[in-house]
Amino acid sequence: MSSRFRECLLRYTASLAALAIPMAITAALKSHPTFNPVISASFLLTISAVSWWAGTGAGILLSCLTVPALTAAATGGKNWLPPHVEPVAILIFCFISFLVGRVASTRKRIEEVLRTANSDLEAKVRERTAELQNANAAVQHRLAELETLYAQLPVGLCFLDTNLRFLRINEKLAAINHAPVAGHLHRHLREMISAGISDIVEPWYRRVLETGKPVLNFELSDPTDEETDQQRTWLIDCSPVRAADGRVLGLQVICQDITERKHSEQLLLQANAELARRENELRTLANAIPQICWISNADGSVAWYNDRWYEYTGAPAGDTGREHWEARIDPESLPALMDRWKRSLREGQGFELEIPIRGRDGRFRWFLTRTVPIHNEAGELRQWFGTSTDVDEIKRSREALLLRERELQHANSDLQQFAYSASHDLQEPIRTIAVYAQLLERRYGEQFEGDAKEFLTFVCASARRMETLVHDLLQYVQTTHLGESVTERVEAADALRDALANLSTYLEETRAEVSVDALPALRVRRSHLQQVFQNLVGNALKYRGTDPPKLHISARRQNEEWLVSVQDNGIGIDATYQQQIFGIFKRLHTADKYSGTGIGLAICQRVIERYGGRIWVESEVGKGSTFFFTIPD
């Protein structure tokens, strides 16, 4: 149903309600002799129009006014208005009726507008009230946060009025003053802090109140704390609190305990002083040594040279520019130096390099340059320290020595080749002499007498000794070619067994006893180790005492090498000759008493040293000997 239709229906209903009473009266007066139907119709039409236009209230009001008029018109007869005045009265009545309806309608619209305005106002009031409530809640929450922050600030904070009375104070400052927060409120400054401190701070606070200018970073030290036996230091900031019109309402005071910071600053000053002292000592020491010393920053830029640099290069004192030291490096060596230096800066590792540096005379000398990184306690690279040591003479001597060594190696090679060739070539004629001497002795020995027979015996013995000497010399020369590296291990027990097998006849003749402990596997050729064992065991059998020989061979691990020993009960060796016996052709006894060429132990020493070991003997005359040798594991 549309609103317009509902409005028309409402007005129609209102008109009928307003006409009900007049119509009832009109029906009752209709039979009266003075009833005027025209007047009644006019009244009824007017009431209907007013009721339709102004509503039920206006219609009912007009109906109440019409009732006496209709009654008077019906019953008054002659007392009613004259006939020529009745139309005018009717018009006036209609005008009044419409005026009443107009007033009633206007009032109704005004009430409607007021009602609508009041409804809108109430909605806005409710909305504004909700906004104010939310804003108030936010303000309360913010105030709570500020109160919490105020109470938990790590610094002391308070507000003083113009009479220096506490208005607010947080827990930190209250604890500093050794009193509760409530005990400070509305109390004067002098009541809460010591007289000594108040005498200092009160003039400053009053100056801030008078001038309106803050006092910042004011340090104050109080007497020594009895509990900690330490003087406390405070940092105080005092600022004025102003009203909107600029008036000073009081003071805001911030108090911070900086005792630890002052202590740290003092320690830092002491550390810096100590560092400066040590740095001065280091520079003094660096200037006293003959090497060139320098310090560079973490990025490689040179920060300092000692005096030796300026003395050698002739560079201006204090000159640490990169282009200057690069110009003093041999151009051929500079790329390698720069590459190594950049790698050190990248990896944080020092280096060592020999480079030629040009001196003030224009000549280049070789220097051994070393760099070492310097880190702080956190492990971060802080600086580089470097030295350059003049090794020009050493390098030139080394080069000369290397040249001499090559020459000696060449000469030694030639000598070895000659010795090998000589010993090899001598074998045939010596063997021929020995064979014919023996043949002469067998066929014609009975025909020789006296000196001739003795001379023939000498020739045969000398030929045999010469043949043995040449054989041993050939073996010694062959030991000079043992430079090849050995990767495989050989069982020492197998090499010893082969050596004992070769000496089996000699062992049986001397009735020797040989005991052997567990032997390791060694990095050495089996033939070479066999040769060493054979010479050592053979010497023990040869230089035996009056008792049958007793030999003991053992080995034990010692650091990174194996120590092998061959012990006997022979005649022993005097301490004077214990080093001499390892020389070639070195003999302590004549060939008449003990046979041999004096090359066996020299061969042993040559073999052992070629494998990186060493050999020696421990002995006492008459108490036997123990030969030791080592082989790296």
**CA-to-CA distance for 205 and 536, rounded, in angstroms?**
104
Choice between 175 and 476, residue whose per-residue pLDDT is larger: 175
Q: Is the per-residue pLDDT at 75 higher than 70?
A: no
- 3-state SS class at 496: helix
pLDDT digits (tens, 9 = 90+) for 7-29: 545 554 555 554 455 555 555 54
Residue 534 pLDDT greater than 50, yes or no: yes
Q: Where are the alpha helices (DSSP H) in 235-372?
A: 259-288, 307-313, 322-326, 334-347
Q: At what angle do helices 492-502 and 526-542 cross, to 10 degrees?
A: 50
Diameter of the chain measured on Cα atoms:
226
Cα angle at 264 between 263 and 266, to 5 degrees? 65
Residue 590: per-residue pLDDT: 47
Cβ atoms of residues 595 and 589 within 8 Å: no
Q: Bigger pLDDT: 24 or 320?
A: 320
pTM score of the predicted model: 0.37
What's the whole-number mean pLDDT along residues 517-532?
86
Q: Are 521 and 597 in contact (CB under 8 A)?
A: no
When comparing pLDDT for 19 and 627, which is higher?
627
Confidence of residue 563 (pLDDT cuts 50, 70, 90): very high
Q: Lowest-confidence range among 38-42, 247-251, 317-321, 461-465?
A: 38-42
Model confidence pLDDT, tens digit, residues 109-148: 787 888 888 888 888 888 888 888 888 888 787 877 777 7
User: Average pLDDT, stretch 289-317?
Assistant: 85
Q: How many CB atoms within 10 Å of residue 307? A: 14
Contact between 170 and 157 (Cβ < 8 Å): yes
Which pLDDT score, from 0 to 100, does residue 72 have? 54
Say whether pLDDT at 79 is over 50: no
The whole-number pLDDT of residue 574 equals: 77
Running DSSP on this structure, what letter comes out for residue 447? G
Query: Rounded to an integer, what distance in angstroms lies between the CA atom of residue 23 and that of residue 67?
Result: 10
Q: Report the C-alpha gap between 500 and 165 in whole angstroms.
A: 113
Distance from C-alpha of 122 to C-alpha of 336, rounded to nearest angstrom: 92
DSSP tag of 79:
G
- Residues of 518-527 as b/e, b for ≥16 C-beta within 10 angstroms? ebeebbbbee
Q: Encoding tokens for residue 151?
A: 């109470």
How large is the average pLDDT for residues 607-612? 84
Band the pLDDT of 250: cuts 50, 70, 90: very high
Own/partner contacts of 424-428, CB < 8 Å, gap of 24 or more, are 424/474, 426/466, 426/470, 427/467, 427/470, 427/471, 427/474
Residues 555/492, Cβ–Cβ less than 8 Å = yes
List the structure tokens of 292: 């060139």
Q: Are 353 and 337 in contact (CB under 8 A)?
A: yes
Q: Which of 2-16, 280-294, 432-446, 505-519 has the lowest mean pLDDT?
A: 2-16
| Residues 82-97, mean pLDDT to the nearest whole number | 56
pLDDT surpassing 70 at residue 442: yes
> Strands (DSSP E) along 298-403, which ranges?
302-305, 352-358, 364-375, 381-390
Identity of residue 176: I
Average pLDDT over residues 220-238: 71
Cα gap 478→488, rounded to integer Å: 21
pLDDT for 9 = 53
Q: Which of 320, 310, 325 is nearest to 360 (CA)?
A: 310
pLDDT of 78 reads: 45
- Count other Cβ atoms within 10 Å, centred on residue 256: 19
Half-sphere exposure for 349 (CA within 13 Å, toward CB): 5
Domains of the chain by range and CATH?
3-120 (no CATH), 153-257 (3.30.450.20), 289-390 (3.30.450.20), 399-463 (no CATH), 486-632 (3.30.565.10)
Contacts 24+ apart (CB under 8 A), 30-36: 32/74, 32/75, 33/77, 34/73, 34/74, 34/75, 34/76, 34/77, 34/80, 35/73, 35/74, 36/73, 36/74, 36/86
Q: Is 131 helix (H, G, I), strand (E, B) or coil?
A: helix
**Contact predicate 392/366, CB 8 Å:** yes
Helix (H) or strand (E) holding 521: strand 521-522
Each residue's pLDDT tens digit, 39-55? 555 555 555 555 555 55
Question: Alpha-carbon torsion 76, 79, 85, 91, what sign?
Answer: negative
Hey, which residues does 373 pair with through a beta bridge? 384
d(CA 414, CA 402): 18
Q: How many residues does the chain have?
A: 633
CA distances from 488 to 202, 480, 485, 522, 534 (A): 94, 21, 9, 8, 22
Structure tokens at 59: 């219609």
For residues 519 and 506, give the distance between their C-alpha atoms in angstroms, rounded to a whole number.
Answer: 23
Q: What was the pLDDT predicted at 77?
A: 46
| Contact by Cβ (8 Å): 618, 579 | no
Phi and psi at residue 357, to the nearest 5°: -120, 135
Q: What is the mean pLDDT of residues 449-461?
A: 71
Run of H or E residues at 161: strand 156-161
Give kind and range of the element (H or E) at residue 82.
none
Provide mean pLDDT across the span 515-532. Answer: 87
**Residues contacting 557, CB < 8 A, separation 6+:** 520, 563, 633
Tell me the average pLDDT across 146-167: 81
CA dihedral defined by 292, 298, 304, 308, rounded to 10 degrees? 0
Side-chain half-sphere CA neighbours of 314 within 13 A: 9
